[in-house]
Chains A and B, each alone.
Chain A
Amino acid sequence: MTALASGATSPTSQDPTRRRPEWLAGLWLIAPTLAIVIGMMLVPLCAIVIVSFWTQTGFDLDTSFTLANYGLLVDDALKCFSDGCGLYSTLIIKSLWISFVATSAVVLLAYPMAYFMAFRIQRGKLVWIILLTVPFWTSYLLRVFAWKVILGFNGVINSGLKSLGLIEKPLEFLLYNPASVTITLAHAWAAYAVLPIYVSLEKIDRSYLEAATDLGDSRWKRFWRVTFPLSLPGTIAAILLVFIPTVGDYITPTLVGGPSGIMIGNSIATQFIKANNAPLGAALSCLMMLAITLAVCLFLAVIGKKRLKGADI
């Protein structure tokens, strides 16, 4: 606000952004957000990196520098090449994979919905935006209970199929496996995917689309040549918003994942809370953050190359 306000009240400058160098105006505008994020995040971030080089016995932290935690994780990963991955590598790979599958499902389902809202709804779009978030004004736990009622042993699907005479015994494969984790996640993150895609689709200038049609493009071709590239910022936002948090999620796998429902987030929580091994928990967190960052950079690099327009990031 400060940047805008000072520009507005300064009597000498009608146009501060032209008089002030552009880079300064940009920095000035982003400074408050950056200051808040850095102020609040820097200490946790440094703490986690530093602690990951310590060791702990009981509640006593040994603050001498050591690579022991990382050594343990490297050994754990090296086992992948001999007799099957160790615990932590298994969990990281599994978490990335489940998150990848869930993100794909969420975004693929969300895109047509966002497209529908952007191009088929003429009036009352605000109502649609709100309508999309209303289901999430209840607790996640309650929504999981509801999914259990639908997918569960004597649940809606099983009772329905039974009363139709299609099955005799309840189907048990509906719940407590990676598929139910994916369904639950696809539901939980729906709004986070639909809304960013919608806002970027909605701003597309209709004249581009008309121009493409005038040039003789088919609908499908027009979509890939014009609409999709222009909606990429929103699609990327959706992918990041769903992928990053789900890698570290540990509540969903516990609730609907069955006996094997454990992900790296569970293990990190265990180290901090139950096993009293904060340094190992910190090292695991660093490893997870690194894995996510690499996955995201890889993704952005691939997308960046494919993007038609030069908008960076």
Chain B
Amino acid sequence: MKKQEILSAMKAGRLTRRDMMKLMSATGVTMALIPMGRARAADEAINFTWEGYNEPGFHPAYAEKHGAEPEGPYFADVGEALAKVRSGFKVDVVHPCNLDLKNWRDADVMQPIDTGRLSHFGDLFESLTKLEFAQGDNGEQYFIPVDWGNTSILYRPDLVEVQEESWTMLWDERYSGQISMAADATESAAIAGIVLGVADPFNMTDEELAKAKDLLVKQKSLLRFYWDSNSTVEQALASGELVMSTGWNSSVVTLQGQGVPVKFANPKEGIMSYCCGLVLMKDAPHIDKAYDLIDAMIAPEAGKWLIESYGYGHSNKKTFEIVEDAMLNERGLPKDPNLFFAKGIFQRPTADADRLHKMFEEVKAGA
């Protein structure tokens, strides 16, 4: 059928079922034959990351130099991303967080980064570049920190009465059914460890872990759910379904932007910090452009954008010189992050993560 015929048939209202079928199957076949995969003229660095982490603002210098944006296949979960890379998916850089680094090291998928090729490397906070597992045994650099943030308790000051900010708030029976925790074994165990006051909440003895498990079982009856994504927890805090939950400082920015009163606790036991950044893959197809991308993401102007639009901290010292104090204040970020890191608890990968996962699943399953 020709287009004219179809149109006139439709006008006359005599498009029969058979014609309709022909038309539909013709459209279907045509669509199916359209070449899958777009042809790519540009051959840009491949940045395997979260949706939203490959925005132009993250790496303005890259587009200035190459006139194009890096490619960004997305992942929703760093563990899934590692599984995909290990199975042979070729990318240049990936964006894991420091808690994941042990896995990435053990999986043997990264190559050391020549820091001499990064013009901004010297300006990065040393406490971040020297994080556990960020460097190899001989001091070679595997991880370039980009963004850092805090994990603490997000709470609704209008709905929660707080005497003293502490991790024990998450066990407050007055708010039974209105509390949430991240569905993360390492973090949950660490929080329980902090409450118990163990020596090292990221490396507990079996005995300590058993106690932590009891504490988490006790907490479970007070929880509404374990959150699996930032969106879930923000949505529930906004609706008033939750009055407090573990969360990240970026949520404060988004929630306050929507007019939801929310506070980010500074627990007396110490606030938790984490850091995410870039790692370079062993079989990276575009090494030179990957270096340009990494350098662009640790530049101060990229950091300024990151703080202003996402509310995360940045790894470059100079970023904190060009961002106004008022903005830092509003975002809950310190003027001198070094002092801040020294006070808080930096999250660390656990040597034996398996028992944590088993323990946490047992808590959830009630077995």
Contacts and interface: CB of A to CB of B under 8 A. Distances in A.
A256 B366 CA distance: 17
Nearest to B176: A172
A152 B237 CA distance: 12
Contact of B353 (A86, A172, A275): A275
Nearest to A148: B235
A53 interface: no
Interface in B168-212: 177, 183, 185
B80 A87 contact: no
A267 interface: yes
A145 B238 CA distance: 14
Nearest to A145: B235
Contacts of A261: 225-226, 364
Interface stretch (B101-109, B260-268, B274-282, B312-320): B101-109
Interface in A263-295: 266-267, 270, 272-277
B239 A152 contact: yes
B223 A59 contact: no
A3 interface: no
A259 B223 contact: yes
Contact of B241 (A58, A91, A154, A270): A154
The size bracket of the interface on A is: 20 to 34
Contacts of B83: 272-273
B364 A259 contact: yes
Given A58-B106, A152-B239, A153-B241, A176 B224 contact: yes
Interface stretch (B29-37, B44-52, B354-362): B354-362
A267 B80 contact: no
A90 interface: yes
Interface in A82-120: 84-87, 90-91, 94
Given A58-B106, A153-B240, A274-B185, A91 B177 contact: no
A58 B107 CA distance: 8
Nearest to A86: B367
Given A273-B79, A276-B103, A259 B241 contact: no
B361 A262 contact: yes
A50 to B, nearest CB: 16
A255 interface: yes
A208 B357 CA distance: 59
16 contacts: A59-B103, A59-B108, A91-B367, A94-B365, A145-B235, A152-B241, A153-B239, A153-B240, A154-B239, A154-B241, A172-B177, A262-B364, A262-B365, A266-B361, A267-B361, A276-B354
Lowest 7 A-B CB distances belong to which pairs? A153-B241, A273-B79, A90-B367, A259-B223, A275-B357, A262-B364, A87-B367
